A and B are shown apart, each in its own frame.
Chain A
Amino acid sequence: MTTENSSRTSTVPETDSEEYSSVNPATDMIDCKLSRRDFVKTVGYFTGAGALGLQLISVETIVECAPLEFSASAHTVELTVNGLVHKLTMDTRVTLLDALREYLKLTGTKKGCDHGQCGACTVLVNGRRINSCLSLAVTHQGDQITTIEGLSGGEELHPLQTAFIEHDGFQCGYCTPGQICSAVALLEEARRGDASFVTPDLAHTGRVELTPEEIRERMSGNVCRCGAYPGIVQAVQTASRTL
């Protein structure tokens, strides 16, 4: 195992270590006081989720192979997330997704593919759904960002959260925060009459009737590997009738 660990350390690609240093600047990594959660996240950066459990790298090893490099590329931004303003100084490379998860510890928003293909990282920016993994945090000064943590009113769930529970709109739950944020925006888009590729008549500009076909097309940016799609479609349709 020791041999494996050291070989792993030496073969970590440069890009990976840079990615790592860009997401965890001046907090846990500096003094090596990693919580177990941070440790698991850190290992995840190097191995990918699929290899978790096989790679028991020591904390010392990780610090050694993750040089912090800051200088010209740091930038300060005020992020307004769920109504609270956070002033952060970050490497310019930090995505909004990583800022939410690693700086603000809002881990409800999930990292799936990290390439804008799966939708797990979907959040609302000024009410519009976007992929936070493809958006640099420094570009969001002054924006109103809403994450899954900001949807409920205290103990009162958002109607879409209730609908997902009611219709079993998930199995493992990993894609669910992205699905729900996406669906929240979907309902607003349909209410104001935005068309989709399956909308039969583009000239009709009123509120869109959310048929299962419309919902499937409009939710196509959110992948669910458990295949909970029937429940997701039902949940969105139910919520569309109550909201």
Chain B
Amino acid sequence: MNPFEYQQVDEPATAVDAISRWRGSKFLAGGTNLIDLMKNTVEQPPKLIDINHIPLRGIEQTPDGGVKLGALARNSDTANHPLIRKNYPLLSQAILSGASPQLRNMATNGGNLLQRTRCPYFMDPAFSRCNKRTPGSGCSALEGFHENHAILGASDQCIATHPSDMCVALAALEAKVRVRGPKGERIIAIGDFHRLPGTTPQIDTTLMPDELIVSIDLPPSPYGSHSHYLKIRERTSYAFALVSVAAAIDVDSGWIRGARLALGGVAHKPWRVEAAEAALAGQKLSISLFEQAASRALSGARPRRDNTYKVEMAKRAIIRALTIAGGLA
């Protein structure tokens, strides 16, 4: 690990000021991903600004009936908060499907948004070619082992996937990310927060280097218990998704008023499929309808040599998740 300076801050303004002064410095929250990456020098910040003492741990109802999740609330506390378990069980499920109890106790909501890919060619500097780690160096995954890489939205520069489960649920729930920079606050829709790799895969999100996430705002949800987070992985627990599905349906007497569908493990960002949502809206709940939606969701898939299996796996996972969410299971 490279040496770094360390500073504690206790309010957002001080944090933003501190990070503006030190080029390349990073905020330290739970540290579960950042410290890990610093140990093998993938991340080499000259300074860590410890934001854990900023009072951003609250989880509270908003006047519009939604919920504001403090950026520094821990993943475990978020998943188990009564408001989340009752009104957003999809989010609880997604969070609880990820990592381990120890890591969820440390990891924060803001940090979860900023997780970096677990592509092995990115994680290990022994592999010299990685456009995300060293821009312009190439991508070892293109010709290497890429069985767990992206099938949607990838580029010829990077085929990494976003590792978060929580963010897949947030995409389906249409969360908004509230951030603070030197010029004040702004709100980024979750769909605009994570980027596709394009020609600049080193940039994961639209958050600016001098901006601090202060909260994640959830709008009121009409989905309630008609939702399901399905995670397919290579062991029963404590593994990243091969494919995951966040499905939420607004049901009225067997008819679908509206639906939200997002996929994990298939792209550089949580992959919301609005075309499939449109196919579901206004229709009567049925397995054949779900099959149509699944086909539509994967119509743009471009698998590579080792990950063609993900296309069929994602389709079946969508059908299964919608079937459970719709109460047809």
Contact = CB atoms under 8 A, between A and B. Distances in A.
B237 interface: yes
B63 interface: no
Nearest to B125: A15
B32 A15 contact: no
Contacts of A134: 31-32, 35-36, 103, 106
Interface string A81-95: 000000000011101
Contact of A131 (B32, B48, B79, B86): B32
B4 interface: yes
Contact of B85 (A138, A186, A205, A222): A205
Interface string A184-202: 0110010001111101001
B3 A131 contact: no
Interface in B30-44: 31-32, 35-36, 39-41
A3 interface: no
Contacts of A62: none
A92 B103 contact: no
A176 interface: no
Contacts of A196: 96, 101
Interface in A182-240: 182, 185-186, 189, 193-197, 199, 202-203, 205, 216-218, 220-222
A122 B105 CA distance: 12
Contact of B105 (A114, A128, A139): A128
B281 interface: no
Contact of B97 (A193, A194, A197, A221): A197
B28 A139 contact: yes
B102 A221 contact: yes
A116 interface: yes
A15 B38 CA distance: 10
B105 A194 contact: no
Nearest to A197: B96
B102 A93 contact: no
B239 to A, nearest CB: 9
Contacts of B157: none
B6 A73 contact: yes
Nearest to A135: B31
Residue from B31, B76, B82 having most chain A Cβ neighbours under 10 A: B31
A196 B190 CA distance: 25
Given A92-B6, A217-B237, A218-B101, A115 B1 contact: no
Most A CB contacts (10 A, CB to CB) among B28, B32, B82 go to B32
A15 B97 CA distance: 34
B61 interface: no
Contacts of A216: 236-237
Interface residues of B, number: 39
B50 interface: yes
A227 to B, nearest CB: 14
A93 B93 contact: no
A136 B101 contact: no
B5 A116 contact: no
A131 B82 CA distance: 26
Nearest to A13: B41
A123 B62 CA distance: 36
Contact of B48 (A72, A91, A92): A92
A29 interface: no
Contacts of A115: 36, 39
Contacts of A222: 100
Most chain A Cβ neighbours within 10 Å, of B2, B97, B103: B103
A52 B48 CA distance: 34
B96 A195 contact: yes
A22 interface: yes
A166 interface: no
A197 B31 CA distance: 23
Contact of B106 (A18, A22, A130, A199): A130
Contacts of B238: 220-221
Contacts of A218: 101
B85 A131 contact: no
Given A131-B106, A195-B92, A92 B3 contact: yes
B39 A114 contact: yes
B295 interface: no
Contacts of A169: none
A197 B3 contact: no
B52 interface: yes
A93 B1 contact: yes
A221 B5 contact: no
A221 B238 CA distance: 7
Contact of A202 (B1, B41, B92, B101): B92
Contacts of B1: 15, 18-19, 22, 93
A120 to B, nearest CB: 11
A195 B106 contact: no
Given A18-B2, A195-B85, A195-B96, 13 more contacts: A19-B1, A116-B32, A128-B105, A129-B101, A135-B31, A136-B31, A197-B96, A202-B92, A203-B225, A216-B237, A217-B236, A217-B237, A222-B100
- 7 tightest Cβ-Cβ pairs between the two chains A and B: A221-B100, A220-B237, A220-B238, A197-B96, A92-B6, A73-B3, A202-B85
